[in-house]
């Protein structure tokens, strides 16, 4: 890292990013067939943990939300509830062509087509389906983006919540969520507190 | 669940005894009177048509007097050209290891059918599913809530005149890029054409 970049970001942020990038806990939402690519990725053959990426069982302790495949409208609702429980910084990774544009379910009435209309997607892993090498490669690029301070898609959910909310309501009608996004946005400093 | 169904309990007498052949079951069904259209389809399968109004009585008789105590599934077929739905009731006998399929045709525009939940409470599960996917109304079933498509507002999606592609294009937004893969495939891009298959 050059001195010029150091002046643009504070030293503390640089340290923080280098710590963040090597301890990513992943919540994998295994809806589709892509879930079968995860066991080899996690276990000894490809060994995701050498990059500091570990499966995590609860949304509140996870950094990455990995959507492995298609989401039906019903499961998408659950994913939104899960995403809102996660603590920032949080990264949604869309896995496979289903999350990008519907994939092989492009003409299905029951599956959503573009995940990034409902949640801010940090990274897409293209393919039907991506092999463990592609997952590792994608996570490496995520690590690089975190290191450079560019992985900021999660901020978009608080800054442009109207956009996501509009699309969610278009699909679900009036969706009941358990978190107050306005409070969260204030907590993360996107809204100035007026006294 | 409303819990108001009175479902017969205990095994009927006819469910015990020697194993019967499929042709013996056809004869036993004919003895019930009314239904004579049943025939052996395979060594362990019997099939036949039942009138819609007679189905409930037939199912009760099949259970109590012939011994088919298990309703294994209800399925639905949409015959669009005939203007009819075909409901297929699958009954299973543990005594005979034999399946009886009763086919019922009902008109498509006034699709109503008597429920079987008073004979088999789990029939509610199949009837909910068929109600949701085909729009068949099951009279007497008080539990026809949405089952899988909880946020669904469109027409029943398994009907043949429901065009999934049009519905998806009306209700979802696709990413705005237009891959020309079909042109590339037609032009021989991937099949040893201009690029020698080295796509």
Give the DSSP per-residue string, B112-131. Answer: EEE--TTT-TTHHHHHHHHH
**In Å, what is the CA distance from A85 to each residue of A24, A99, A110, A166?**
17, 21, 25, 19
Domain ranges of chain A: 3-155
Chain A positions touching B148 (Cβ under 8 A) are 74
Whole-angstrom distance, CA of residue A18 vs CA of residue A5: 14
**pLDDT of A164 higher than 50:** yes
pLDDT for residue A65: 93
Task: Pick the residue from chain B with its C-alpha nearest to A170.
Answer: B171
Predicted pLDDT of residue B195: 44
Overall average pLDDT of the A116-125 stretch: 91
Interface residues on B facing A, Cβ-Cβ cutoff 8 A: 148-151, 153-154, 157, 162, 164-165, 167-169, 171-175
Interface test with A, best of B129, B160, B172 (most A CBs within 10 A): B172
Give me the pLDDT at residue B193, please: 46
State how far the Cα of B103 lies from the Cα of B173, in Å rounded to an integer: 41
- Chain A, nearest residue to B169 by Cα: A107
Complex ipTM? 0.80
pLDDT for residue B184: 66
Cβ distance of B151 and A173 shorter than 8 Å:
yes
pLDDT at A60 exceeding the cut of 80: yes
Please answer yes or no on whether A109 and B174 come within 8 Å at the CB atom: no
CB contact under 8 A, B151 and A113: no
Residues of B in contact with A73 (CB under 8 A): 149, 151
- Nearest alpha carbon to residue A142 among A151, A133, A134: A151
| Residue from the list B157, B169, B175 with its beta carbon closest to the beta carbon of A100 | B175
Cβ <8 Å between A114 and B168: no
How close does chain B come to A56, measured CA to CA in Å? 28
Residue A154 has pLDDT above 60, yes or no: yes
Instruction: Provide the residue ranges of all domains of chain B, joining segments of one domain with +.
Output: 13-146
Contact A112 B168 (CB under 8 A): no
Domain B13-146 fold is Beta Polymerase; domain 2 (3.30.460)
CATH of domain A3-155: 3.40.50.12280
Q: What share of chain A has pLDDT > 70, as a percent?
A: 93
**Rounded-to-integer distance, Cα A157 and Cα A54, Å:** 25
Contact list, A172 vs chain B (CB under 8 Å): 151
CA dihedral of residues A136, A142, A148, A150 (deg, nearest 10): 160
pLDDT of residue A80: 93
Least confident segment among A9-13, A26-30, A133-137: A9-13
Q: Return the pLDDT at B33.
A: 75
What pLDDT does residue B154 have? Answer: 86
CB contact under 8 A, B149 and A106: no
What pLDDT, on the 0 to 100 scale, is given for residue A8? 64
Kindly state the DSSP code that residue A51 receives in the 8-state scheme: G
pTM: 0.80
Q: What pLDDT, on a 0 to 100 scale, did the predictor assign at position B148? A: 87
Q: Which of B39, B87, B95 is nearest to B59 (CA)?
A: B87
pLDDT of A97 higher than 50: yes
Q: Do B151 and A102 touch (CB under 8 A)?
A: no
Residue B52 is predicted with a pLDDT of: 92
Least confident of A44-53, A169-178, B152-161: A169-178
Neighbours of A102 (CB within 10 A): 20
pLDDT value for A27: 92
Supply the pLDDT for residue A134: 92
Average pLDDT, consecutive stretches of 10 residues, N- to C-terminus, chain B (199 residues): 62 86 91 80 92 91 90 95 95 93 94 92 93 93 87 89 90 76 65 46
A77 and A170 Cβ atoms separated by less than 8 Å: no
Determine whether the interchain pair A110/B175 forms a contact, defined as Cβ–Cβ distance below 8 Å.
Answer: no
Q: How far apart are CA A17 and CA B46, in angstroms?
A: 69
pLDDT value for B82: 94
* Contact by Cβ (8 Å): B48, B37: yes
Contact residues on chain A for B158, CB-CB shorter than 8 A: none
- Smallest Cβ distance to B174: which of A110, A113, A167? A113
Partner residues linked to B106 by β-bridges: B85
Mean pLDDT throughout A1-8? 56
């Amino acid at each position: 890292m050059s001195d010029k970049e150091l002046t643009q970001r504070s030293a503390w942020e640089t340290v923080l990013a280098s710590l963040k990038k090597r301890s990513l806990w992943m919540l994998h939402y295994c809806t589709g067939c892509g879930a079968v690519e995860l066991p080899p990725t996690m276990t000894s053959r490809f060994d995701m943990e050498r990059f500091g990426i570990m499966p995590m069982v609860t949304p509140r302790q996870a950094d990455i939300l990995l959507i492995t495949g298609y989401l039906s409208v019903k499961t998408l609702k659950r994913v939104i509830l899960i995403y809102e429980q996660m603590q920032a910084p949080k990264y949604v990774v869309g896995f496979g062509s289903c999350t990008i544009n519907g994939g092989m379910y492009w003409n299905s009435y029951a599956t959503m087509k573009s995940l990034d209309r409902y949640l801010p997607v940090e990274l897409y892993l293209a393919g039907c389906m991506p092999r463990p090498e592609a997952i590792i490669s994608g996570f490496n690029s995520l690590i690089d983006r975190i290191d450079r301070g560019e992985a900021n898609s999660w901020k978009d959910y608080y800054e442009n919540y109207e956009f996501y909310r509009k699309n969610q309501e278009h699909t679900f009608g009036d969706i009941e969520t358990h978190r107050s996004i306005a409070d969260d946005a204030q907590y993360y400093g996107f809204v100035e507190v007026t006294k | 669940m409303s819990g108001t169904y009175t479902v017969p309990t205990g095994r009927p007498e006819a469910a015990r005894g020697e194993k019967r052949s499929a042709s013996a079951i056809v004869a036993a069904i004919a003895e019930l009177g009314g239904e004579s259209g049943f025939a052996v389809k395979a060594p362990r399968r019997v099939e036949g048509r039942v009138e819609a109004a007679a189905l409930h009585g037939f199912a009760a008789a099949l259970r109590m007097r012939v011994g088919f105590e298990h309703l294994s599934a209800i399925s639905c077929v949409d015959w669009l050209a005939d203007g009819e739905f075909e409901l297929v009731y699958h009954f299973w006998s543990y005594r005979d290891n034999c399946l009886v399929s009763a086919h019922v045709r009902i008109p498509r525009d006034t699709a109503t059918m008597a429920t079987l939940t008073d004979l088999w409470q789990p029939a509610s599960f199949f009837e909910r599913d068929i109600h949701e996917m085909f729009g068949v109304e099951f009279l007497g079933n008080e539990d026809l809530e949405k089952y899988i498509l909880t946020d669904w507002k469109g027409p029943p999606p398994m009907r043949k005149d429901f065009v999934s592609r049009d519905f998806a294009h009306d209700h979802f937004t696709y990413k705005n890029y237009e891959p020309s893969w079909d042109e590339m495939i037609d032009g021989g891009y991937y099949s040893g054409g201009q690029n020698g298959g080295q796509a």
